[in-house]
Amino acid sequence: MVNGLTSLNGKKKIFYGMCRLGSSIFMNVITLALFWIYTSHFHLEPFITGVGTAVGKIVIAFSSLLFGYLSDLLPFSKLGRRKIFMWTGSPLLAISFVMLFIPHLFIPTSNQMVVLIWLFLWNSLFNLFYGFLIAPYQSWMPEITEEDERIMVSGIQSTTNLFAMLLGTGFSFVIAGVLELNGGLAGINGWLLVIPIIFFAILEVLFFLPALLAIKEEPVEQKKIKMTREIRLILSNKNYLIWILGQGIFSIGVAAVSSLILDFSSKIIGLQTVPQFAFFGATMFVTVIFCFFLWSKIADTIGKKWSLIISFLYLQLVLPLTLVIGKIPTIPPSYQGYLFAFLAGIGLSAPYLFPYAIIADIADKDAQETDQQRSGLYYGFNMIVLNLFQAMGLLFSGFLKGLPNNLGLLLVGPISAGFFLLAIPIFWFGNFDPFKGQEQITPAKDRQESKESMFVDDEVITVKKEDSGDISTAFGK
């Protein structure tokens, strides 16, 4: 935290964390239902639909970088630097989400070219507005929280995301069943899709309002900056490079497990009824939430880096169980599945919990040492790398799912464990707790410690001589 801003009380922490509910519901519904509904009910060819949906990954990656950077650069106004994006972005995101799912109300869905244009237009706008909204929102975190608050705030965000996952996943499977059983979108069935979509859109806007109304955004002194110079500067931060590379690698494993867990539970474990699926999902969900508190306590003692490494080592023991779960004699397969959900939830809780706090700490450390706020750029560039790795994870999931005799579903555990294992030697050299064992330092202009100057494009940025995790590379003209 910079510029002496006050920390958030408990209520405001909840207000900030719960903003993610609606936007995360959107993402879960789009991930699960968009491809299916455009191919099954809007009659678009699968390959063309795949191209149309893939465009979103590219748009969201670069929109997050662009608008994160602009929110760093924007002069303070009555609507704030970050909050102005949230005030305008939340309704724009809601509108684009609704429009994605209701082409049948406006265009002839029998015309593939018209449907394709609709998909390209609204999917691109949705992902553009997602970056427009979420990058400045996430970049606001280091400006309004102290280092020791961020694991709790990150836990609230992660809990919100998991509730959103439950709602979004539940809706996607329910609406799929309803439309398949009742013959598509004709008549009243069409409104069974439209009404929940509109409800989610209203929910998304409403859940941003408490934070926007209750949390005050203070002016932050900004200097004239150039984007290319700033990107080179954040990429000189050793800890940041280690984080984005390691996170990208383990996110392939997370994406594979997340996208194939429903197939695994039905085809390998043999879950068939709604109560069985509900109990399986609830077991994993409750375990992940409970373990947020466990991993938070561990991180308070040994730090976020070692907590992540311990969780990744633990997952080496648990995820390979996909090879045997459902096949152990004398134990009902469903019980084996519930046990696996519990054990996997313990390990997966840590990589869900820490990312927001780690990026905020790295950005805050940089801001305090250079007297320049770059949290938007730190978050935005991280999104580019993360989305590219997640796209690889989804492509890999498709390959696994296509293997004969459900072989890919058996292998998803040990292979995903391998990606977590690969991240460990990368994280080993990082410092994700830059404030641990010391009080947060004051901005650079107020410090009396010894300093050295780093010249970037004829401008001077001051940094501490002590090891801060930054690579002291000077970029001249």
In angstroms, what CA-CA distances link 413 with 4, 315, 338? 46, 9, 16
Burial 25-57, CB ≥16 within 10 A → b, else e: bbbbbbbbbbbebbbbbbebeeebbeebbeebe
Q: Name the residue among 134, 136, 132, 119 with its Cα closest to residue 55.
A: 119
Predicted TM-score (pTM) of this structure: 0.69
pLDDT of res. 230: 79
In angstroms, what CA-CA distances link 295 with 13, 257, 287? 19, 21, 12
- Tell me which fold the domain 1-147+160-222 belongs to: Growth Hormone; Chain: A; (1.20.1250)
For 453, phi and psi rounded to 5 degrees?
Answer: -105, 140
Q: What is the mean pLDDT of residues 300-328?
A: 94
472 CB neighbour count, 10 Å cutoff: 12
- Tell me which fold the domain 227-442 belongs to: Growth Hormone; Chain: A; (1.20.1250)
Least confident of 210-219, 267-276, 467-476: 467-476
Which residue ranges does the chain devote to CATH 1.20.1250.20? 1-147+160-222, 227-442
Coil, strand or helix at 10: helix
pLDDT tens figures, 425-452: 999 999 998 887 655 444 444 433 433 4
On the question of pLDDT at 122 being above 90, the answer is yes
Work out the pLDDT band at 90, boundaries 50, 70, 90: very high
Coil, strand or helix at 456: strand
On the question of pLDDT at 475 being above 50, the answer is no
Work out the pLDDT band at 193, boundaries 50, 70, 90: confident
β-partners of residue 452 are: 463
Rounded Cα–Cα distance for residues 98 and 106 (Å): 12
pLDDT tens figures, 53-65: 777 777 887 887 7
On the question of pLDDT at 330 being above 90, the answer is no
pLDDT of res. 437: 61
pLDDT tens figures, 395-419: 777 678 778 888 988 999 999 999 9
Rounded Cα–Cα distance for residues 77 and 79 (Å): 5
pLDDT tens figures, 18-42: 898 999 899 878 876 777 778 777 8
Taking the mean position of all CA atoms in its chain, how far away is CA 198?
Answer: 23
Q: Whose structure tokens read 């294992």?
A: 421
Rounded Cα–Cα distance for residues 68 and 375 (Å): 8
Give the pair of three-digit tokens for residue 218: 């203070």
Report the range out of 67-71, 204-208, 441-445 with the highest average pLDDT.
204-208
Rounded Cα–Cα distance for residues 139 and 276 (Å): 40
Residue 62: burial class (beta carbons within 10 Å; 0-12, 13-18, 19+)? middle
